[in-house]
Amino acid sequence: MRKLDTESRANILTALVEGCSIASTCRMFGVNKITVLRLLADAGTLAAQYHDLTVCNIDAKRVEVDEIWAFVGAKQKNASTEKKAKLAWGDAWTWTAIDADSKLLITYIVGTRDASYALDFVRDLKSRLSNRIQLTSDGYGSYMDAVKKVFGDLIDYAQLIKDYGKEPGVPAGRYSPPVCLSAQAKPITGNPDPDFISTSYVERQNLTMRMRMRRFTRLTNAFSKKIENHQHAVALHYFHYNFIRKHMTIKTTPAVMAGIADKVWTMTDFVKMLEREEELLGGRLTDYKPAASKLRQ
């Protein structure tokens, strides 16, 4: 079987994280769809493992959390019971947590928008922190229970409750999203600083995600057809966001700003790490369960 060279693989992955669909990537580089999906699966597996290995003991002060919606196969209301059960079709929410200072995406989880995922998400967030933080979420009720169970009183937690609706006097377009009419800061636990009760950074990060991942583009047929591919794409996006893409406001990558990387990565660096893992395992990453301790830059 002919194997793509390092540069070709790096170019394909770069296209995917810059907003190209699987089909358009295949056309641009003259490769088969299966080849691109296999590369995405291996890259996503490695990205998730490297995130677990390196994004820990984060010295954050202010963390913001939010969720972003997408769907797999079909929207929740249109997916059959059988497809939901066997293929996990329906709504797919990505829970995200960002360090407001370094812009580091600390943790993420793909699943449903219910209390069990909220609890898993908050538990994982706590496991990656090294100190007490001020946390801000939206008014979604599951956050309050999860934060109380995981952090107890060892956190400064507040909710920013926004009221959305149609702007008065302006006729709504067919696809026009609702506008934020008001926002109320509500302290929940501890002593959160009112000046930093905000979800602006995590919401802006979610916009970056929607603009740079074709699977999240609304009103298209580019949505994920399999939950595994969706998860791999999310993992690759966040590796690129943390380690490769320079943030405009901090002039470097969030990983460098947070002190968990000593250089700005390139996609070629990532592909070379992928190739070292493949050589070590003697095959594709998705065929094995490589130990995270073996992953080295």
130-185: per-residue pLDDT in tens?
999 999 999 999 999 999 999 999 999 999 998 877 767 666 666 667 777 778 99
The band of 296, judged by pLDDT with boundaries at 50, 70 and 90, is: very low
Give the DSSP per-residue string, 96-108.
Answer: EEEETTT--EEEE
pLDDT over threshold 60, residue 289? no
pTM for the model: 0.91
Helix axes 267-281, 33-54, angle to 10 degrees: 90
Mean pLDDT over each residue of the chain, to the nearest integer = 91
Domains and CATH numbers, the chain: 6-294 (3.30.420.10)
pLDDT over threshold 60, residue 297? no
pLDDT over threshold 70, residue 117? yes
Query: For residue 36, which of 48, 53, 24 has the smallest C-alpha distance?
Result: 24
Map residue 75 onto helix, strand or coil. coil
* pLDDT tens-digit map of 223-279: 999 999 999 999 999 999 999 999 999 999 999 999 999 999 999 999 999 999 999
pLDDT over threshold 90, residue 113? yes
pLDDT over threshold 60, residue 290? no
User: What is the structure's pLDDT at 293?
Assistant: 36
Average pLDDT over residues 95-107: 97
